[in-house]
């Protein structure tokens, strides 16, 4: 969330420089300032759909004592804006908390479970009766760098004529919804990558 000037305040009051962290910590009531969500923040309906997966207890039975919603809202903000984790606005909480939670969920399969929940919900919304698709289409693509001389993940003429870099393999159902994705070295054969994706 960010602070924006609201209506009803005096016009000649001048600019008020107040950081979001100070506002959140002090819980001060400023009648002419209101908290509005970022465009990347989850709606209440989206949060209600994802909350059971995100707040499920781990192997040790640990439950989250604090509210996970600002932490989760910080992840699409980073993905959409491309900002570095360290420059994440403080309204999402400490950047280390958001980053460590993102890493933890990347490693323990939470993102895969979320994708499955979202896929089933999208299929129901599209009028599909079965939650699991009967057919998928698999496609692969080499990740190439920018053409403006920036860093590249694609190096032609690697050892023995192989291409260095990464290959993205994505499976979608007949409606175009993603079923799964995997990133493998560029030298991996499509059959092996598909087996890894679907297996």
CA nearest neighbour of 183 among 122, 141, 136: 141
User: Distance between CA atoms of 67 and 71, rounded to whole angstroms?
Assistant: 8
pLDDT tens digits, 110-130: 988 888 888 888 888 888 888
Higher pLDDT, 174 or 21: 174
The string over 117-141, giving b where at least 16 C-beta atoms fall within 10 Å of a residue's C-beta and e elsewhere, is: ebbeeebeeeebeeeebeebeeebe
pLDDT band for position 33 (cuts 50, 70, 90): low
User: Distance between CA atoms of 121 and 48, rounded to whole angstroms?
Assistant: 12
pLDDT tens digits, 142-171: 875 444 444 444 445 555 555 567 888 999
Can you give the pLDDT at residue 197? 86
Give the dihedral sign, CA 86/184/144/180: negative
Task: Flag whether pLDDT at 107 surpasses 60.
Answer: yes
Instruction: Say if CB 119 and CB 129 are below 8 A apart.
Output: no
Task: Flag whether pLDDT at 76 surpasses 50.
Answer: yes
pLDDT tens digits, 37-47: 889 999 988 89
Say how far residue 102 (Cα) sits from the centre of its chain. Answer: 8
Instruction: Say if CB 165 and CB 142 are below 8 A apart.
Output: yes
What beta strand segments (E) does 27-165 contain? 33-36, 136-143
Lowest mean pLDDT among 16-20, 138-142, 170-174: 16-20
Q: What is the DSSP letter of 103?
A: H
Please tell me the pTM assigned to this model: 0.61
Residue 194 backbone dihedrals phi, psi, to 5 degrees: -65, -40
Can you give the pLDDT at residue 179? 84
The ranges assigned to domains in the chain are 2-36, 44-108, 133-198
């Amino acid at each position: 969330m960010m602070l924006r000037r609201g209506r009803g305040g005096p016009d000649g009051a001048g600019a008020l420089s107040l950081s979001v962290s100070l506002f959140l910590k002090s819980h001060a009531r400023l009648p002419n300032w209101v908290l509005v969500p970022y465009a990347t923040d989850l709606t209440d309906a989206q949060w209600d759909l994802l909350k059971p997966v995100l707040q499920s207890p781990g192997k040790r039975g640990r439950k989250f004592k604090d509210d996970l919603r600002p932490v989760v809202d910080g992840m699409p903000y980073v993905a959409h804006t491309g900002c570095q984790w360290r420059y994440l606005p403080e309204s999402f909480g400490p950047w280390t908390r958001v980053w460590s939670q993102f890493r933890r969920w990347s490693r323990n399969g939470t993102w895969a479970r979320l994708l499955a929940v979202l896929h089933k919900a999208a299929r129901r919304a599209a009028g599909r009766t079965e939650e699991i698709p009967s057919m998928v289409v698999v496609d692969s693509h080499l990740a190439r760098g920018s053409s403006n001389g920036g860093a590249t993940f694609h190096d032609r003429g690697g050892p023995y004529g192989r291409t260095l870099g990464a290959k993205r393999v994505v499976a979608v159902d007949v409606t175009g919804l993603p079923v799964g994705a995997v990133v493998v070295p560029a030298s991996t054969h499509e059959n092996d990558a598909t087996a890894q994706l679907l297996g």
